[in-house]
A and B are shown apart, each in its own frame.
Chain A
Amino acid sequence: MPAVPTMPDINETKLRNATIAVLVDNEPGILARVVGLFSGRGYNIESLTVAPVDEDRAISRITIVTSGTEMVIEQIKAQLDRLVPVRKVCDLSIEGPHLARELMLIKVVCTGEQRMEALRLADAFRARVVDATAASFVFEMTGNGDKLDAFTALMRPLGLAEVVRTGVIGIARGTYSLKA
């Protein structure tokens, strides 16, 4: 017999963050469908990333970071699951331990002592220098959102010029793997 589905804690009114992985058919309009679902029903999107992930580019994996009460997050998953091109929906935040990473490129324009300080901090944060001129650096950095936020805050007084971030991607730890 299949496992009895468990009910979400309906009395929980606290907001929580959820990192939801969605496997979808890589077809035109699928992203509009997902985004339209969120805007139409008033759900939050903190970040959203998408790219094809299989050999023949037929399946895309979307990672959505959202927040809501337990009931709202249950709704989000059920609403996503009933979209026709959606193959799998997985709430990484509750299915078990998972990794969440984000890529950031950050440009700092500075000279003199501030340059040295930026480099020292980059080293401490394991950010890589991917471009350098006499007056600027571009650092590349991966990590969870907090780490990227902390580094960005430290760069601000040193001449922070531009930030670009991918949004979070996530994957479960261990042998469990999400398949279409």
Chain B
Amino acid sequence: MTPGEANSESQNLMSATLQTAASAAETMSGAEIVLRALKEQGVEVIFGYPGGAVLPLYDALFNQNAIRHILVRHEQAAVHAAEGYARSTGKVGCVLVTSGPGATNAVTGLLDALMDSVPLVCLTGQVPTHLIGNDAFQEADTTGITRPVTKHNYLVKDIKKLAGVVHEAFYVARSGRPGPVVIDLPKDILIGQGPYSEAPTAPHRSYRPQREPNAELVAQAVKLLKGAKRPIVYAGGGVVNAGPEASRLLTEFVRLTGFPCTNTLMGLGTYPSTDRQFVGMLGMHGTYEANLAMHGCDVMLNVGARFDDRVTGRLNAFAPTAKKIHVDIDQSSINKNVPVDIALVGDAGLTLKALLEAWKASEQPQHTGALAEWWTQIEEWRGKDCLRYRQEGSIIKPQHAIRRLYEITREGGRDTFITTEVGQHQMWAAQYFGFEKPNRWMTSGGLGTMGYGLPAAMGVQIANPDALVIDIAGEASILMNIQEMATLAQYRLPVKVFILNNEYMGMVRQWQELLHGGRYSESYSAALPDFVKLADSFHARGLRVTRPEDLDAGIREMLAHPGPVIMDCAVAKDENCFPMIPSGAAHNEMILGPDQEGGVKGVTDEGKVLV
């Protein structure tokens, strides 16, 4: 140390002793800074799992009551739980995991949140800064690993920047197209002392997504929509993310215009499913009428959907005669898969408001005659009743199980939230369970993560303690995060797990039947647990139903039980999910179920390489 340094240090020491008590209180430990920033950002619940690198944060959590910590049984489940919390409330979900394996276990959940645009902030522990790069115990290059699975990530190496980083992370997670943000926190930063700063009020230096659509383009869009003869509104998850008001505006717009409306998997609930103008979900397992209306429309208004491959089918045959208007808050979604004619970059809610105003202000008449003809055509397609199934004999049809679950929960009138795992049961839930409001349907759409539903349901139940929360599951998916039954027990979360048990990874089996000559390679769920005993061992109620005549009573018993329930519902093993647009096929080349006629076209060789 040079004499100069010693001098300045003793001066610092002296000035520190002269400081008033108030300004001295401005310094606190990194862990305290993090918690204070979380509180300022409105965090009430954090889903996490402790470990060596995050012990200082857990110590700080121990000393406060503002933020409730929910202890999960696996870090992936912490992220899905935060997703369920975020999707059902519109708030930013929050996750806390340790370094190394804690962070790598969270990766699947983070990518799931990225693909489905769910706002999350995930705090990961890290080895102290001086050990980074040394292959220290439980070290992982967390920012490197999570860079492609997050919207943004940070490694905090300077405690003076810590508070600012946490505030910025929340801003980034919820602004524009929402997504997960990781903050990697070395242990010495959590222990060290530093200053706190409040969330900045000034606009962010570089990230300022456009929210208001361009007025000139809105006018052009309305002109196109008014001139439409065969219009359709195609609404997706962006409407959910824009808040409940956006769904209300969507409903108002659709009713005002008299247009048919379809929803993507992520958009279910943004338009009431019981309304006549709703033509059902579109896409690979969408309804006949929705897909044919998409194929035959002349003007398409896409609000907050991203022309995903599950929706479009073969791109060169997608809505070939349509002029397309695309509303999206993410400029990079425009023209990514499908070239569009008018791009309205902006928030779905604000854009719908602008469209409504412009529609009302415009004196251009609508093609009411043509629209009536279009509806006649759509009703004809609807008459095909593509979701019809026959419940007969002694085996429960999975479609029937979902339909009865829907009807019985509706009778009860409770606010109901549905999560799902991934596979056939997910598609049946989307087809046979109706949603009237947004934020009631939580499913892994983009990534297709088996094991999503149970932890997501946990997060939903934490956020909505009085609501009915049901995880519609398959017997294979549920085993991927079954350990979370313990979390349900610990926090007395009355989540209902409704398993459609067909003893197969059903969607894999279906594709093997349709594409691989019925060679059911490794898709049989052998050695399944006894779900009733399994529920019992996790302090939950277990039920098993195998006969159609017992189905209703089983569902009612499940709903009546005040605690968590696993209902194991044995369903037909060979049932396929129809309608189906095979990969590589167009919307008008759907495979219908055995109860409908026509439309069958096999899978092409080009289609086989697609997933």
- Chain A positions within 8 Å of B, measured between CB atoms, are 1-2, 4-5, 7-8, 10, 25, 28-29, 32-33, 36, 40, 71, 74-75, 78-79, 81-87, 180
- Chain B positions within 8 Å of A, measured between CB atoms, are 143-144, 147-148, 151-152, 155, 172, 176-177, 205-207, 209, 214-217, 330-332, 334-336, 339-341, 343, 345
Pair A78/B155 contact, Cβ less than 8 Å:
no
Chain B residues near A28 (CB, 8 Å)? 155
Chain B residues near A33 (CB, 8 Å)? 147
Chain B residues near A75 (CB, 8 Å)? 332, 335-336
Chain A residues near B148 (CB, 8 Å)? 36, 40
Pair A86/B216 contact, Cβ less than 8 Å:
no
Set B205, B331, B341: member contacting A78, Cβ < 8 A: B331
Set B143, B205, B216: member contacting A29, Cβ < 8 A: B143
CA distance A85 to B205 in the complex (A): 9
Q: Please, which residue of chain B has its CB at the minimum distance from the CB of A23? A: B206
Known A-B contacts A7-B343, A78-B332, A81-B331; the reply to A32 vs B144 at CB < 8 A is yes
Pair B339/A10 contact, Cβ less than 8 Å:
yes
CA distance A91 to B148 in the complex (A): 24
Set B216, B336, B341: member contacting A4, Cβ < 8 A: B216
Pair B335/A7 contact, Cβ less than 8 Å:
yes
CA distance A11 to B330 in the complex (A): 22
For residue B14, give the distance in angstroms from its CB to the closest CB of chain A.
31
CA distance A82 to B176 in the complex (A): 9
Chain B residues near A40 (CB, 8 Å)? 148
CA distance A71 to B172 in the complex (A): 27
Chain A residues near B215 (CB, 8 Å)? 1
Chain B residues near A4 (CB, 8 Å)? 214, 216-217
Chain A residues near B339 (CB, 8 Å)? 10, 71
CA distance A78 to B143 in the complex (A): 23
Set B332, B341, B343: member contacting A5, Cβ < 8 A: B343
Pair B155/A29 contact, Cβ less than 8 Å:
yes
Chain B residues near A29 (CB, 8 Å)? 143, 147, 155
A-B contact pairs, 21 of them (CB 8 A): A1-B215, A4-B216, A5-B345, A7-B340, A10-B339, A29-B143, A29-B155, A32-B144, A32-B147, A36-B147, A36-B148, A40-B148, A71-B339, A74-B335, A75-B335, A78-B334, A81-B331, A81-B332, A84-B152, A84-B172, A86-B206
For residue B129, give the distance in angstroms from its CB to the closest CB of chain A.
12
Chain B residues near A81 (CB, 8 Å)? 331-332
Pair A10/B335 contact, Cβ less than 8 Å:
yes
CA distance A32 to B345 in the complex (A): 28
Pair B214/A5 contact, Cβ less than 8 Å:
yes
Known A-B contacts A1-B216, A4-B216, A32-B144; the reply to A82 vs B331 at CB < 8 A is yes
CA distance A75 to B151 in the complex (A): 17
Chain B residues near A82 (CB, 8 Å)? 176-177, 209, 330-332
Chain A residues near B151 (CB, 8 Å)? 84
CA distance A78 to B343 in the complex (A): 13
For residue A52, give the distance in angstroms from its CB to the closest CB of chain B.
16
Set A1, A5, A85: member contacting B206, Cβ < 8 A: A85
Chain B residues near A7 (CB, 8 Å)? 335, 340-341, 343
CA distance A42 to B215 in the complex (A): 35
Known A-B contacts A7-B343, A29-B143, A29-B155; the reply to A84 vs B207 at CB < 8 A is yes
Q: Which 4 A-B pairs have CB atoms at the shortest separation, nearest pair first?
A: A10-B339, A78-B332, A84-B152, A78-B331
Q: Please, which residue of chain B has its CB at the minimum distance from the CB of A79? A: B332
CA distance A86 to B204 in the complex (A): 12
CA distance A56 to B148 in the complex (A): 29
CA distance A5 to B214 in the complex (A): 8
CA distance A125 to B450 in the complex (A): 63
Q: Please, which residue of chain B has its CB at the minimum distance from the CB of A9? A: B339
Q: Please, which residue of chain B has its CB at the minimum distance from the CB of A32? A: B147
Chain A residues near B143 (CB, 8 Å)? 29
For residue A29, give the distance in angstroms from its CB to the closest CB of chain B.
6
Set B176, B206, B209, B335: member contacting A71, Cβ < 8 A: B335
Chain A residues near B152 (CB, 8 Å)? 83-84
For residue A76, give the distance in angstroms from its CB to the closest CB of chain B.
9
Q: Please, which residue of chain B has its CB at the minimum distance from the CB of A74? A: B335
CA distance A60 to B563 in the complex (A): 57
Chain A residues near B177 (CB, 8 Å)? 82
CA distance A180 to B217 in the complex (A): 27
CA distance A4 to B151 in the complex (A): 28
Q: Please, which residue of chain B has its CB at the minimum distance from the CB of A24? A: B206
Chain A residues near B172 (CB, 8 Å)? 84
For residue A95, give the distance in angstroms from its CB to the closest CB of chain B.
17
Pair B206/A84 contact, Cβ less than 8 Å:
yes
Pair B334/A25 contact, Cβ less than 8 Å:
no
CA distance A2 to B212 in the complex (A): 12
Chain A residues near B176 (CB, 8 Å)? 82
Set B147, B206, B332, B340: member contacting A87, Cβ < 8 A: B206
CA distance A8 to B331 in the complex (A): 13
Q: Please, which residue of chain B has its CB at the minimum distance from the CB of A37? A: B148
CA distance A140 to B360 in the complex (A): 67
Q: Please, which residue of chain A has its CB at the minimum distance from the CB of B215? A: A1
Chain A residues near B216 (CB, 8 Å)? 1, 4
Chain B residues near A86 (CB, 8 Å)? 206
Pair B206/A25 contact, Cβ less than 8 Å:
yes
Chain B residues near A71 (CB, 8 Å)? 335, 339
For residue A151, give the distance in angstroms from its CB to the closest CB of chain B.
39
Chain A residues near B330 (CB, 8 Å)? 78, 82
CA distance A62 to B164 in the complex (A): 26
In the complex, given contacts A5-B345, A7-B335, A82-B330, what are 12 additional A-B residue pairs having Cβ atoms less than 8 angstroms apart?
A4-B216, A25-B205, A25-B206, A32-B144, A33-B147, A71-B335, A75-B332, A75-B336, A78-B331, A78-B332, A82-B331, A84-B207
Q: Please, which residue of chain A has its CB at the minimum distance from the CB of B175? A: A84
CA distance A83 to B332 in the complex (A): 11
CA distance A66 to B237 in the complex (A): 33
Chain B CB within 10 A, most for which of A4, A8, A82:
A82
Known A-B contacts A4-B214, A5-B214, A40-B148; the reply to A87 vs B334 at CB < 8 A is no
Chain A residues near B144 (CB, 8 Å)? 32
CA distance A99 to B172 in the complex (A): 35
For residue A178, give the distance in angstroms from its CB to the closest CB of chain B.
14
